[in-house]
Amino acid sequence: MKIEMLLGGVKTAQCFSKKCKINYTQNINLMRNKMFTLMCVAISSFAFSQVAIGKDAITKLSDNVTPNPGISLEFGTGNKGLVLPWVSTVSNQPVAYNATTGAGYQGMQGTVVDGTIILDLSDKKVKYMRNGSWSSLTGAVPLVLDGETVTSFSAIDSSLQDGKKEGTTAKAAIGTNGATDTTAGILVLTDTNKAMVLPKVAKPHLNIKNPAAGMLVYDTTNRQLAVYNGTVWSFWKP
pLDDT at residue 139, rounded to an integer: 86
Kindly list the domain boundaries of the chain, sorted by start residue: 2-153+165-236
pLDDT at residue 110, rounded to an integer: 86
pLDDT at residue 34, rounded to an integer: 38
Q: Which residues contact 12 (CB under 8 A, 6 or more apart)?
A: 5, 6, 23, 24, 25, 26, 145, 146, 205
Predicted confidence (pLDDT) per residue in 132-142, tens digit:
999 999 988 99
Sign of the C-alpha dihedral computed for residues 213, 218, 220 and 221 taken in this order:
positive
**Whole-Å CA distances, 219 to 102, 131, 138, 225:** 38, 26, 16, 6
pLDDT at residue 48, rounded to an integer: 64
Residue 171: which of 199, 190, 197 has the closest Cα?
Answer: 190
Flag residues of the chain having pLDDT under 50.
1-46
pLDDT at residue 47, rounded to an integer: 53
pLDDT at residue 148, rounded to an integer: 80
